[in-house]
């Protein structure tokens, strides 16, 4: 599998949020107003102006002492992105896959698509809309940096080696190697996303303990009523256009 990928080793993540700050800085994203909601994590979630957030979860370990799980959340850059499938039903080119990296990128054409259709299609709850405009934004894999031989800003900034980036095959190999190394100490350790994503996480416990959407099943979805109606509507519009063309030809 060609292209690039991230390997995020949460066993060495210290929750410093350097990656989160670097993402803001490189993408020139403004600060957003936050509030104390009883957790060190801040802000509470991703947003149109926040492409990356380090999630904090506190648990009680086997020795009855507190254990912190840190989860640097970002777009997973799926190999077969559901958001692109949803966008393509309305307009081609609204969401594209970068040939060089495999990054899933949003274009200006996406403004023609209902933002809710895109946000609901993502199994990881990543895309966020701008209030008032409906425009969508998320992690871009820093393709502007990667295309010039630079690391993504978050990876460049990470002080512990938790954030890794490179050719997908090399990141898969690194993830498997690290999993073997930590298994003796953490028998429940897993690596997520190796088969269908470009962002892999090494977790030492059940993914749900890190975050609700840390790992989800992204198998092809069944067609729900909303999707079916959208497809029917698109087909009817196409039939109407074809009918007008035929009438002009025979008239």
pLDDT, tens digit, 9 for 90 and up, residues 77-96: 999 999 999 999 999 999 99
Q: What is the mean pLDDT of residues 119-126?
A: 97
Does the residue 233 lie in any domain?
yes
d(CA 120, CA 153): 28
User: Per-residue pLDDT tens for 14-42?
Assistant: 999 999 999 999 999 999 999 999 999 99
- The total of other beta-carbon atoms located within 10 Å of residue 102's CB is 19
Instruction: Report the DSSP beta bridge partners of residue 9.
Output: 202
d(CA 238, CA 89): 12
Q: How many CA atoms lie within 13 A of 187 on its CB side?
A: 0
Q: What is the mean pLDDT of residues 182-189?
A: 95
Does the residue 191 lie in any domain?
no
Domain enclosing residue 241, as ranges: 221-251
Omega before 3 within 30 of 0, i.e. cis:
no
Work out the pLDDT band at 61, boundaries 50, 70, 90.
Answer: confident
Closest CA to 189 of 172, 202, 199, 177: 202
Does the residue 128 lie in any domain?
no
Does the residue 69 lie in any domain?
no
Does the residue 234 lie in any domain?
yes
Does the residue 127 lie in any domain?
no
Q: What is the mean pLDDT of residues 166-180?
A: 98
Rounded to the nearest 10°, the torsion over CA 15, 20, 21, 26 is 150
Work out the pLDDT band at 63, boundaries 50, 70, 90.
Answer: confident
Q: Where are the alpha helices (DSSP H) in 109-194?
A: 115-121, 143-146, 153-157, 168-182
Q: Per the structure, how many domains does the chain have?
A: 1
Does the residue 243 lie in any domain?
yes
Which DSSP state fits 149?
T
Q: What is the mean pLDDT of residues 224-237?
A: 54
Closest CA to 205 of 182, 236, 174: 182
Does the residue 75 lie in any domain?
no
Q: What is the mean pLDDT of residues 144-168?
A: 98
Work out the pLDDT band at 247, boundaries 50, 70, 90.
Answer: low
């Amino acid at each position: 599998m060609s292209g690039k990928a991230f390997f995020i080793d949460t066993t060495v993540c210290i929750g410093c949020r350097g990656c989160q700050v670097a993402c803001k800085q490189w993408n020139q994203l403004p600060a957003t107003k936050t509030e104390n909601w009883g957790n060190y994590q801040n802000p509470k979630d991703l947003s149109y102006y926040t492409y990356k957030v380090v999630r904090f979860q506190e648990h009680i370990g086997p020795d009855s002492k507190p254990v912190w799980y840190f989860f640097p959340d970002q777009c997973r850059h799926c190999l077969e992105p559901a958001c692109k499938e949803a966008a393509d039903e309305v307009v081609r080119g609204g969401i594209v896959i970068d040939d060089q990296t495999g990054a899933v990128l949003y274009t200006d054409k996406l403004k023609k698509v209902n933002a809710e259709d895109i946000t609901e299609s993502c199994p990881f709850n990543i895309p966020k809309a701008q209030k008032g405009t409906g425009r969508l934004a998320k992690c871009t894999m820093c393709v502007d940096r990667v295309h010039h031989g630079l690391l993504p800003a978050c990876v460049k900034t990470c002080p512990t080696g938790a954030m890794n980036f490179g050719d997908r095959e090399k990141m898969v190999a690194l993830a498997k190697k690290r999993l073997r190394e930590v298994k003796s100490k953490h028998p429940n350790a897993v690596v997520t996303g190796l088969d269908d994503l470009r962002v892999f996480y090494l977790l030492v416990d059940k993914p749900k303990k890190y975050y609700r959407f840390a790992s989800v099943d992204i198998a092809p979805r069944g067609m729900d009523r909303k999707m079916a109606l959208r497809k029917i509507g698109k087909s009817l519009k196409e039939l109407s256009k074809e009918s007008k063309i035929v009438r002009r030809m025979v008239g």
